[in-house]
Chain A
Amino acid sequence: MALAAPKSKSNVASQPLLSLHNASLRLGNRTLWKDLSLDLKPGEFLAVLGPNGAGKTSLLKVLLGLNSLKQGSIELLGQPPHKGNSQIGYIPQQKAFDRDLPVRGRDLVHFGLDGHRFGFVRHDQAAWQRVDEVIKEVGASAYANNPIGRLSGGEQQRLRIAQALLAKPELLLCDEPLLSLDLKSQQAISELIDSYRKRYNTSVIFVTHDINPILSMVDRVLYLVGGKWAVGKPDEILTTKCLSQLYGTPVDVLRVRDRIIVVNTVDQHGSSGQHHVGGGEH
């Protein structure tokens, strides 16, 4: 549960990219998590797991400057989080767009460049060239001119990755980007994110309810449950002992082939009594 000894597999990082110290978050009168301490190194891949309502997405919103901490301190890239930080790329879950929405894949990617800026639009050939390069990099050139309402979930997510990568971010925040994708697309999308991380030493914080597609890439896991948390390597956290302690009820962690399945006897969150949190060939 303690922070694993940093064995930097990438460049030597003198300073953590993100540093949370005794951080607590309250929304309304509910404490989502408290006394959370965590350092994230450049190039590190952190998976954030936990039941619905545990504050996973709210953690990302803190980093985006959209939620503020109740207590504790946070430093991101040497300063407090703020809105519109172009050093952060954000990849949400796939969503259904209206079929007739007059926006092409290329336009969606282009938003990543200057879509948030007020002011007159000028046609910028170089900007569009950069957009097309990134689209090519993620392998989405074939359908980038199609309306986004007519793309498949996997195609849409490739374009979203391209959008997030345009600004060459130091940190990628992924909020359930694999949700409602088929298995093949899940694999392709997570590999794309991971290959970018390795090439540019970008840190990744990946919120998910299913760690299976990304387990081979994950350095550490942050598990949030009902105000409590644990952080460590997947093998340390995804165990019967650790999760039982976190949930406060007996929880069984089963390894079935290369998947890990968590069986929760008392499910306090109303979903099915079982969910996947891990899997892999350890």
Chain B
Amino acid sequence: MNNLPFYLSQPFAQHALLAAAIVAIICGFIGPFVIMRGMAFAVHGTSELAFPGAAAGLLIANNPLAGALVGTLVFATIIGLLGVRERERDSVIGVILAFGLGMGVLLLSFYHGFAAEATSILFGNIFGAGNGQLLALVLIGAGATLAMLILYRPLLFASVDPDVAEARGVPLRLVGLLFLLILAFAVTEAAQIVGTLLVLSLAITPAAAAQRLSARPIMVTTLSILFALIASVGGLLVSLANGRLKASVCITFVSFGIYLAARVFSYRSSQAGPSRA
């Protein structure tokens, strides 16, 4: 436990905390929209496709981040172009997800480097990231957050009420595709911190907790980002202090704890009064 002050003075830990914060901001930002648009499965599918992408990147160029990014962007573009309707989209995601995982396993069987590289794709390993990779994470995260800020209003309109949004001139397909691409960037980022298997703990859970506490779109988005930050940075600190627990495990647990607390709180206040506005 008393190692924490020492770690915090080390550049590798400082960089990891910075990366964790950036990733939390973009994941917390997209979360409410993922829920509104019923895209939890798309997020999961996208992150699973980061796995074969990262495996290929590792194999070809020893660069899992670039590989993961290519994998998720290709996947997001495919489901954006193919599956317009929700039901059709889910089946397309299921098909590609299953094939992609098989491909990832195949690619890893060709890889004869450190086994730790492979497991860090699945479960994350932010402390192992180099400076170049951290810089990439920061830049991608900042770019995706900026894109979300610009897209915010038409995306919200299109997610809540697509027919009226279209009548008012919102280009639904373009907005949907742009959101999928931002989502691909965000998911790739999150996969570096918590691993491809645990992305939802940053991309869904904080937003689901926020939605229990407010019905105002801007408030829900703000709370979602805040919760993701607490989970991501807090989980990383717990992991540093403890020394044995993986960061992804701590993040997942903190995130789930916030969600439980939000449910209890919203249940209590719904007993006190009917309005949650």
Contact = CB atoms under 8 A, between A and B. Distances in A.
B154 A116 contact: yes
B151 A101 contact: no
Interface in A155-183: 160, 163, 173
Interface stretch (A45-53, A82-90, A228-236): A82-90
Contacts of A115: 153-154, 156-157, 165, 168, 170
Interface string A94-113: 00011011111001100110
A30 interface: no
A121 B149 CA distance: 8
B149 A104 contact: no
Nearest to B151: A118
Contacts of B61: none
A267 to B, nearest CB: 28
B220 interface: yes
By size class, the interface of chain B is 20 to 34
A117 B276 contact: no
A101 B160 CA distance: 8
Contact of B154 (A65, A98, A117): A117
A119 interface: yes
B179 to A, nearest CB: 13
Contact of A64 (B154, B161, B167): B167
A111 B169 contact: no
A280 interface: no
Nearest to A84: B169
A102 B211 contact: yes
A107 B217 CA distance: 8
Given A90-B168, A116-B168, A116-B169, A107 B153 contact: no
A102 B167 contact: no
B165 A102 contact: no
B275 interface: yes
A118 to B, nearest CB: 6
B150 A103 contact: no
A102 B215 contact: yes
Interface string B162-197: 011111111000000000000000000000000000
A102 B36 CA distance: 8
Contacts of B264: none
B157 A116 contact: yes
Interface string B6-32: 000000000000000000000000001
B111 interface: no
A160 B165 CA distance: 12
Interface in B207-250: 210-211, 214-220
Interface of B: 32, 36, 149-154, 156-157, 160-161, 163-170, 210-211, 214-220, 275-277
19 contacts: A65-B169, A84-B170, A85-B169, A90-B168, A92-B167, A102-B214, A108-B161, A111-B168, A112-B168, A114-B153, A115-B153, A115-B156, A115-B170, A116-B153, A117-B154, A118-B154, A121-B149, A121-B218, A147-B276
